[in-house]
Amino acid sequence: MVTFSIQYQNIGPSDIYVLEGGGSNLDVTITSGTSLIQQVKSPLCEIAVAMASLGPGDNATAVTPGCWSGFQYQLLQAGSIQVQMTLGWSNGIGKGAGSIQITADFALG
């Protein structure tokens, strides 16, 4: 199975809030190489979801998909794919939410 993860750091002046536990603040869209990887159903897990604060200078890691997604990515054959990832966060009160988009190429196999 294939999972995607990003380690990131809060470089802002105040706390931000991100999903912790059963969920992810990372969304992935495969933009090329879709014949190499396939989304397959998987059982959902029961796991608590919480918002966690990330202070200035703190690091965290976001992973997707997880058991909360209801699917996994299965590698069909070796090759390269291009992925568009969106990492999101909140200021904790529903306003000022932000996100960043990242495009990456991966060699799988």
- Output the pLDDT for position 92: 72
- Output the pLDDT for position 27: 93
What is the span of the domain harbouring residue 87?
4-108
- Output the pLDDT for position 2: 93
- Higher-confidence residue: 82 or 96? 82
Q: How far apart are CA 59 and CA 29, in angstroms?
A: 24
**pTM, rounded to two decimals:** 0.85
| CATH number, position 81 | 2.60.40
Domain count, the chain: 1
Q: How far apart are CA 5 and CA 83, in angstroms?
A: 12
Q: Say yes or no to pLDDT of 95 above 70.
A: no
Phi and psi at 85, nearest 5°, equal -115, 140
Specify the DSSP class assigned to residue 67: T
Q: How far apart are CA 28 and CA 71, in angstroms?
A: 13
